Structure 1
Amino acid sequence: MNAPEPRMIASWQALLEGGKTVDELLVSFDRARERRVLILPALFDEANKLRRFTLQMMRAADELGVDTFLPDLPGCNESLVPLETQTLTSWRDIAASAAEAFGATHVLSIRGGALIAPDTLTGWQYAPLTGAKLLRGMLRAQTIASREAGREMTSAQLMEEARQSGLQLAGWNLGPQMVREIEVALPGANDNHMLIEQKDLGGAGLWLRAEPDEDQRLSEALAEIVAHPAERPL
Structure 2
Amino acid sequence: MKKIQIFSISLGFLIVFLLGFGANVLFFNDDSIEVYANNNMETIVIDAGHGGYDVGCIALDGTQEKDITLDIASSTGELLEEAGYNVVYTRTSDNVSWPEDNKEDLQSRIDIAEDADANYYISIHINSSDYNDGASGYETYVDFNDDEMVEMAESIHAQLELLNYAQDRGLVDTNETPLYVVSNNSIPALLLEVEFITDTNDFNYMVNNGDDLSQAIANGIMNSIEAEEISKEV
TM-score range, shorter chain: 0.3 to 0.5
TM-score normalised over the length of structure 2 = 0.46
TM-score normalised over the length of structure 1 = 0.46
